[in-house]
Each structure stands twice: as structure tokens, then as C-alpha cells.
Homo-oligomer: A and B are copies of this chain.
Amino acid sequence: MSASATSADLLIREIRADEFHRLWPLFQAVIAPGDTYSYPPDLTMEQACEWWTTPPSRCFIAESNGEILGCYMLRPNQPGLGDHVANAGYMVSPAARGQGIAGILCEHSLQQAREAGFTAMQFNFVVSTNNSAVRVWQRHGFTIVGQVPGAFRHATLGPTDIYVMHRYL
């Protein structure tokens, strides 16, 4: 990988449950520090796979030379009368940080969401101390529309606020 990833470097494609095991090492590496996701430390692959691949949730991976560098999940944020708003969650391999992959994943997810008919996207749980993530989402059109005090038990910082972020598509 070059120091700055481009869409051309990455093959982004949707996967189903049968390939989730390939993603699991990255998934575990991202949640292990307990600084960005609320997933429990003892999360099983089976539970993660169910959350990320069971319709209406859709799972996408970004590969370069057969190595998975990132992934995201796309789904309706609510059922029924709220299902025009998408929700997404992104992960980048710790070894592939600083290459712009989060932004590439975000753009890809926005396009997928548009094609699926969503008219907005909402993040429910952006950890407020995750500055790099907050900046990337802002650069891609999201604004902070809510702040919930202490909703995340950060592994090293303790009770930490989370942001709700939103943009139209």
C-alpha cells in the first residue's frame, strides 16, 4: 500500500456470512482496545457475523492484494417509518491507519446507501474522543446533531460522551 490509499488500490465488495471469518481478525483487533466500539470484549464471531451480515444489514470489505484492510456495515437505522435513514459502521485495520481508508469506505457506503434508496445517513455512537474519526465524518458531510453524556465506557478514559452524526444523501 502507498502512504495514501486510493480507491484504485482497494477492491471493495459485499460479503455474506460465509466469508465473515476472514474479517474476524481485523474485527477483533479493532474492538480489543475498547476505545471506539461498544462491542463487548467477549464478543463471539458468531454474534458479530449475525449483526453484520443478517439482512437488512449488509457487510462490505476492502481488500488489497487479498488482504482485508477495512470493512463497513450498512443497514437501515430504524425499521418502517424510519427506514429511509441508513446507518453504517466502519473499521480499518490498525496496520493500515493513516492511509485514507476510512474516507474511501465512507464514500463507498454513501454511494451504496443512495443506490439502495436511502435519503440520509445517521451514526448513533461516534465516540467523542475518537478525533480522527469525527474529522473524517465531518469532511464527508456529517454534522454532529446530538451528544449523549457518558454513554461509552472507554477502556482507558472512563465514561465518555458519544456523538450522533447525520448527513443527507
Contacts and interface: CB of A to CB of B under 8 A. Distances in A.
Contacts of A41: 80
Given A39-B81, A79-B39, A148 B149 contact: no
Interface string A4-47: 00000000000000000000000000000010011111010000
Interface stretch (A59-67, A101-109, A118-126, A131-139): A118-126
A83 B152 CA distance: 8
Given A79-B39, A80-B38, A80-B39, A166 B149 contact: yes
A83 B150 CA distance: 11
A80 B152 CA distance: 9
Interface in A112-163: 120, 122, 124-125, 145-155, 162
Given A146-B164, A164-B146, A80 B43 contact: yes
Interface of A: 34, 37-41, 43, 77-85, 120, 122, 124-125, 145-155, 162, 164, 166, 168
17 contacts: A34-B81, A37-B81, A38-B82, A38-B83, A39-B79, A39-B81, A43-B80, A82-B125, A82-B151, A82-B152, A85-B151, A124-B124, A145-B146, A145-B147, A148-B164, A149-B168, A164-B164
Which A-B residue pairs are the 10 nearest by beta carbons?
Answer: A146-B146, A40-B80, A38-B82, A38-B78, A38-B81, A81-B153, A146-B164, A38-B80, A39-B80, A85-B151
